[in-house]
Amino acid sequence: MNMKAKEILKKLYGYDDYKKGQEEAIDSILNNKDTVIIMPTGGGKSICYQIPALIFDGITIVISPLISLMKDQVDSLKATGIDSTYINSTLSYEDIEYRLQAIEEGKYKIVYIAPERLETETIYRITRRNKISFIAVDEAHCISQWGHDFRPSYMMINKFIDNLEERPIIAALTATATKKVEEDIISGLGLNNVNVFKTGYDRENLTFTVLKGANKNNFIIDYAKKHKGEAGIIYVGTRKDTENLCRLLIKQGINSGMYHGGMNPQQRKENQEKFLFDDIDVMVATNAFGMGIDKSNVRYVIHYNMPENIEAYYQEAGRAGRDSLKSQCILLFSAGDVQLRRFLIDRADELDDTRKRYRYEKLQKMTKYCHVTTCLRKYILEYFGEENVNDTCGNCSNCNEDIKKEDMTIEAQKILSCVIRMKERFGTKLIAEVLRGSKNKRVLSLGFNNLSTYGLMSEYTIDGIKDMINLLIAEGYLRMTTDEYPVVKIDKKAISVLKDNEKVFRNVMKTEKIQVKQELFEKLRVLRRKIASEQNLPPYVIFSDETLKELSTKYPTSKYEMLNIKGVGEKKYEQYGEMFMEIIRQYIEDNNIQVDTINYSEPNTKKAKKKSDEPSYVISAKLYNELNDINEVAKERGLTIRTIENHIFEAYTNGVDVDIEGFIPEGEEDTIKSAIDAIGLDKLRPIKDALPENITYNAIKAVIAKWY
C-alpha cells in the first residue's frame, strides 16, 4: 500500500477506504507499469489516475473525448482542492496562452485535452517545455474499431506517445470492453508489460427491467410523475421521437429538456447544463447525449427504444446511480425497435460487409437480452466474459417481484383470429381498428365490419390493442414483414395458443409505493442547490446524493464527525461544512432527536470518552452538578453543548438529582404546558412556533422532562 496515496484519498476526497480495484490499479501506476483499468461506471476510475497524478513529479495529461466531461472533471477537482485545467476549442487564444503559462509555472498537475488536439502547436509546447510523467487515456474503448463507440482520433494517441522525448507511464481506462476490445486497447496504445485490472461489471445498486408491449408514452408519463424531483434520462432512438416525447412530457407538467445531434451546439450545451444543475429533472435524448454525462445523482434511465448492442446499453443504463444509491434501468421493448436498428445498420454506407455482419450479430444478442426469461444481470455479466455468475440476482425484473404476470390469452386469441380473417395482409393499425370496431372508411370499404372478430375488443383503445399486437410480435406468436409497408403474419408458435394448449402472459410493473422523502435530506438538497447556484457549479460537485444521505442519517455536528462522512474532504469541509451542520443542528433541535456527538476540534485528536459503567447521561448530569456550567461540561467530556443539555434532561427523566429549573423562564411553565397539551410531543418546532420568542427549546425540553 502506498501511504501517500491513502493520505490523499482521505484528505482530499474524504474516503477512508478504496473502492474495489482502486488500490491495486494505483499501486501499479505508481510502480511505473502501464495499466489497463476496466471498471464499471461509478466504480471510481477517475481516482485511479488522479491520485498518481498528484504524486508524480511532472504533469499528467488526461486524454478525454468530450469537452463537457473535461469541464465537469476540472470543476470537481477544484472543489476538492486540486488545481487542474483543460485546453480545448471553447477557449480563446488569450485563455490558452494564460493556461500554458500557468502549466509552465507548475500551477497545474493535471491537464485535460481532447484527442483531436494531440497534433496541435499548443500540445507541442506543453510536451516540450514540461515533464510529462503520466498519460491517462479515458474512454479507452474508443480506440477499437470493434467497440461500440470507435473514434478515429484515438488512433493518433500512440503516435503522439512515440514522439515524446521520454515515454511516460500510460493508463487506459474504460467501463466496458469485451476481450477483443481489451486486446485492441493494449495494441493500439502500444502498452508495454501491461497490468490489466478488471473489477467486474456488476453494478449491484442498479435494478434492470425489461417491459414488452407496454404503452411507452403512458408508462413514461406515469413513472416520471411518481418520481418527480428525481433526475432521469430517457434514451430515444430517433430525433423526431425525442422531440415528440419531450413535448408530451412538458405538456404533462414534467420538468423536461431534450438533446440530440440535430440541435445547434449552443442549444445542446444549455440543455445539458440545465440537467447537470438540476434545473430540469428529465432529459429526453438520443445516444448523442453520451460520455460527457458525469452527473452522479441520476436515479433512473429509461430506454424508449432498444439500443443496438449490449455495450451501448450497459454504458447508457450505467449513467444511473453513479453515487452507488439504488437506481432503475428500464428498457421498453417493441418489435419495431429491431427493425429500426437493422435499418440504421443497412443505411450505414461506410460499413463493409464484415462490419455489418459483426453489428448484426451484436444486435441479435441485444435482442435476445430483451426476451430471456432468466436473470438479466447474469446475461449481461456473461456477455462481458464473467464466469461463475449466480443464476439469480434478486434485483432484475426476471428475478424480483416488481413485475407481475397478467394473463392475456383470450386477448391473444382474438388478435390471432383477426389476423387470420384479414388474410395476413395488413399492418397493426388496421388490425387494431377492426378489433376495436372502428367505423372509419377503410374498415367499412374492405367489409371488415362483417368479420366475426369485428368489435371483439371494443373495451380497449386502439393504442392498447396495438400494444398487445406488438407484444405478440415480440414473443414470436406473430411476425412482421420487412417490406416498405410491413404487414403482420401468423407464426407457427401461435397455433398452440389458438388450440388452447398455451397461455400468453404480459409483464406489468406493480404499482410502486411512493416513498416519503426524508425531510432532512430534502433540506440539505435545497442548501446544496443554493450553494451550487451561487458558485455556478453542478450540485453534485458540492456533495453527492450519497454524502447527503449519510449526513441526513448520521447527524454530524462537529468537524471530526463531518470529516468521517464519505465524500467530505478537508477542502469541502472548510468551504461548506459549517453551513450543512447548521441545517443538521436545527433539524435535531426541531425534532427533539437525541444524538451523542463527539466534539473533537481536529480530525486526528486521540481524546476519547472515559470508559464507565454509568450511562453517559448520568456522567454529564453529575459533572453539571459539580461545575454548574454547561460549556465546561462539554469541554471536559469532549461533547457538544447540545448533547450535554439533552443528557441533563434525560438524567432528570430517569430519576437523577439534577437541577433543570434554571432552563424555564420564571412564570412561563404553565404557558409551555398548555402549548404542549394542545400540540402534542411529536415535534418541538410546532410547540416553539406557538410560544413567545423568549421561550427556548431548552425551556420546552425541561418542562417535558419535568411533567411528561
Q: With DSSP H G I counted as helix, E B as strand and the rest as coil, what are the percentages for the chain, rounded to 5?
A: 50, 10, 40
Virtual torsion, Cα 240, 245, 247, 253, nearest 10 deg:
-170
Same-domain check for residues 23 and 150: yes
> Quick check: 291 pLDDT over 80?
no
Same-domain check for residues 390 and 536: no
**Span 317-366, pLDDT tens digits:** 999 998 889 999 999 988 778 878 888 888 877 777 888 888 888 888 89
d(CA 433, CA 442): 10
Residues 6+ away with beta carbon under 8 Å from 120: none
Please give the average per-residue pLDDT across 133-139, as a whole number.
94
Q: Cα 46 from chain centroid?
A: 16
**CATH for 662:** 1.10.150.80
Same-domain check for residues 389 and 264: yes
Please give the average per-residue pLDDT across 481-507, as a whole number.
86
HEC string of 323-371 equals CCCCEEEEEEECHHHHHHHHHHHHCCCCCCHHHHHHHHHHHHHHHHHCC
How high is the pLDDT of residue 148? 66
One-letter amino acid identity for 41?
A: T
Using alpha carbons only, what angle is made at residue 160 by residues 155 and 165, rounded to the nearest 5 degrees?
Answer: 160
User: 517 or 46: whose pLDDT is higher?
Assistant: 46
User: 602 or 322: whose pLDDT is higher?
Assistant: 322
How high is the pLDDT of residue 484? 62
pLDDT grade for 515, boundaries at 50, 70 and 90 = low
One-letter amino acid identity for 612?
A: S
Range of the domain at 268: 206-402
Percent of the chain at pLDDT above 70?
A: 94
CB-based contact 282:212 (threshold 8 Å): no
How high is the pLDDT of residue 604? 42
Same-domain check for residues 157 and 274: no
Same-domain check for residues 27 and 166: yes
How high is the pLDDT of residue 706? 87
d(CA 590, CA 383): 52
**CATH for 387:** 3.40.50.300
Same-domain check for residues 371 and 304: yes
Virtual torsion, Cα 405, 410, 415, 416, nearest 10 deg:
100
In a domain, 510, yes or no: no
Helix and strand numbers, DSSP H then E, in the chain: 32, 17
In a domain, 51, yes or no: yes
Domain end call among 198, 232, 251: 198
Query: In terms of DSSP H, where are the helices of 88-215?
Result: 93-104, 121-129, 157-162, 179-188
- What is the strand order of the sheet 231-235 is part of? 206-212, 327-333, 298-303, 231-235, 282-285, 256-259
How high is the pLDDT of residue 38? 93
Same-domain check for residues 17 and 59: yes
Of 673, 702, 708, 707, which is closest to residue 687 (Cα–Cα)?
Answer: 673
Please give the average per-residue pLDDT across 69-84, as a whole number.
87
Same-domain check for residues 469 and 439: yes
Same-domain check for residues 557 and 690: yes
The residue written with cell numbers 493508463 in the block is 171
In a domain, 511, yes or no: no
**Span 50-61, pLDDT tens digits:** 999 999 999 999
> Quick check: 601 pLDDT over 80?
no
- Gyration radius (Cα) of the chain, Å: 31
HEC string of 444-485 equals HHCCHHHCCCCCCCCCCCHHHHHHHHHHHHHCCCEEECCCCC
In a domain, 86, yes or no: yes
Percent of the chain at pLDDT above 90?
A: 48
Q: What does the mean pLDDT of the chain come to?
A: 88
Which strand (E) or helix (H) includes residue 486? Answer: none
d(CA 652, CA 650): 5
How high is the pLDDT of residue 597? 53
User: 119 or 502: whose pLDDT is higher?
Assistant: 502
How high is the pLDDT of residue 280? 95
Same-domain check for residues 244 and 258: yes
* Strand 110-113, strand 35-38: pairing: unpaired
Using alpha carbons only, what angle is made at residue 423 by residues 420 and 429, rounded to the nearest 5 degrees?
Answer: 85
d(CA 140, CA 6): 26
Of 170, 180, 199, 193, which is closest to residue 141 (Cα–Cα)?
Answer: 180
d(CA 240, CA 41): 29
d(CA 259, CA 289): 6
**Span 361-396, pLDDT tens digits:** 888 889 889 878 789 999 999 998 888 899 999 999
Same-domain check for residues 526 and 486: no
How high is the pLDDT of residue 502? 93
In a domain, 310, yes or no: yes
HEC string of 629-663 equals CHHHHHHHHCECHHHHHHHHHHHHHCCCCCCCHHH
Max Cα distance, the chain (Å): 100
Which of the given ranges, 268-277, 330-339, 501-510, has the highest pLDDT on average? 268-277
How high is the pLDDT of residue 275? 93
If DSSP codes are grouped into helix, strand and coil, which group holds residue 405?
A: strand
How high is the pLDDT of residue 400? 83
**CATH for 489:** 1.10.10.10
**Span 607-635, pLDDT tens digits:** 444 445 677 788 889 999 888 888 888 88
CB burial string 91-101: b at 16+ within 10 A, e below: beeeebeebbe
Same-domain check for residues 494 and 622: no
How high is the pLDDT of residue 292? 59
CB-based contact 542:627 (threshold 8 Å): no
> Quick check: 584 pLDDT over 80?
yes
**Span 237-249, pLDDT tens digits:** 999 999 999 999 9
pLDDT grade for 482, boundaries at 50, 70 and 90 = low
Q: In this structure, what C-alpha cell is assigned to residue 174?
A: 474504460
In a domain, 15, yes or no: yes
If DSSP codes are grouped into helix, strand and coil, which group holds residue 212?
A: strand
pLDDT grade for 250, boundaries at 50, 70 and 90 = very high
CB-based contact 63:134 (threshold 8 Å): no
- What is the strand order of the sheet 195-198 is part of? 84-87, 110-113, 59-63, 132-137, 169-174, 35-38, 195-198
Length of the chain: 708
Please give the average per-residue pLDDT across 267-275, as a whole number.
91
**Span 660-689, pLDDT tens digits:** 988 999 889 999 999 998 888 878 888 988
Task: Give the number of domains in the chain.
Answer: 4
Domain end call among 142, 166, 198: 198
Domain end call among 345, 373, 402: 402
In a domain, 132, yes or no: yes
d(CA 608, CA 132): 46
Residue 505 CA: distances (Å) to CA of 129, 335, 372, 409, 534: 68, 17, 14, 7, 53
